[in-house]
Amino acid sequence: MKDKKSDPEKTSPLRGIQVLDLADEKASFCSKLLADLGARVIKVERPGGDALRNNGPFWKDTPHLGRSLSFWFNNTNKLGITLDIEKRAGREIFLRLLKKADVLIETFAPGYLTQVGLGFQVLCRINPGIILASVTGFGQTGPQSAYKSCDLIAAAMGGQMYVTGDPSQPPLKLYGEQSYYTASLVAVISILLALRRRNMTGRGEQIDISMQEAVASTLEHVMISYFHDHVIAERQGSLFWNREFCMVRCKDGFMLVTLFQHWETLVGWMDSEGMAEDLMDDSWKDEAYRLEQLDHVIDVVNAWTSTHTTHELFELSQLMRFPWAPIQSPKDVLESPQLKARGFLGSVEYPQNGKRIPFPNLPFRYSSLELKSPGRAPLIGEHNAQILQGELGLSDIEIVHLRSKGVI
């Protein structure tokens, strides 16, 4: 008998968990993952202009959509309301929502929630089991806690940029907003652990997450080398940190190859095509010698790989158990037969015309649970009526009054 697919709405891992999302781009990916795992996430945005920040040219002809591409990616499966928590009426509504919430995620400057009357002690009086996750540039304490931050600053001050790039050039920043995603992943793990602890104790938790620390915690060999050998790692360009891997050019792109594993097999392969040059000499069998003359090895390997396509080298290297891989473009990734076979790409509704566009699913599977498909990010205040009237019971007159006062 075939197993029937489970209903995501009934079996999602975080079904029944309610999240209030006050986060900007620093932690939107955190609440996105919780929503995709089945939590009911209500994204709370300021009314008016602040909710329209980060407008990009993609939306220039649809100002009512007022969203960047990043926003549409990081806010799938969420509900959206507008609410000004700096106004008394806004705070009162927010606290009513808080009574039913399990998690609150925020990215304000340290002390801001306390200033507006929503500090953790106040939140705990309303909801003793609330889990407050605060993601900031430098954490809630310390001499730099009040400093402004962004992805670029976190990458710089977390030590990531120093070891990224070519040794002859200034440091580089990794593509995208990796500091935000790293901090968001740390936040998700912290929240899940806090939920587990609350199940045992009944108590909530305040979680303090620093983007700088989140980045610094991922530096792996850089920190180990410094702690153990007192060596400050240098930028290696296209070389892996231990010089085992290198990126080389092919006819149609680039390839990640190993330089020293299966050395004799590699140079024999190159020699069979008449392109090993002097690497067949016995002196090159000494790994220490190869390390000393690494630039020459790379030049010879580059000249050989440039005569092949990435597909040719990948298929042959796999047969010979070489851990090689093509450097794929986003187009290559999305057309990957492996990702297609696993159903990695889903689709979401495009709000301008109602059509569906490709969108990545979650990068993991459960054997007995069906995860939610991506649902598009909310429009500004899209669920005001559903939540404020349908769930909190506000009347039409109250809604009109709140809107006139700029509360929603």
What six digits make up the tokens of 332? 């290559």
pLDDT in tens, 207-243: 999 999 999 998 877 667 666 767 777 767 677 766 7
Res 59 pLDDT > 50: no
Domain boundaries, the chain: 18-219+343-404, 245-328
> 245-328, which class in CATH?
alpha beta
Q: Mean pLDDT over all residues of the chain?
A: 88
First-residue to last-residue Cα distance in the chain: 52
Q: What's the pTM?
A: 0.85
Q: Which residues pair with 250 in a beta bridge?
A: 253
* pLDDT-derived band at 35, boundaries 50, 70, 90: very high
pLDDT in tens, 128-144: 999 999 999 999 999 99
- Contact 375/381 with Cβ under 8 angstroms? no
User: Which of 242, 239, 254 lies closest to 164, judged by CA?
Assistant: 239
Chain position carrying tokens 């992943």: 185
18-219+343-404 CATH pick, 3.40.50.970, 3.40.50.2000, 3.30.479.30, 3.40.50.10540: 3.40.50.10540
**CA–CA gap between residue 98 and residue 166 (Å, rounded):** 49
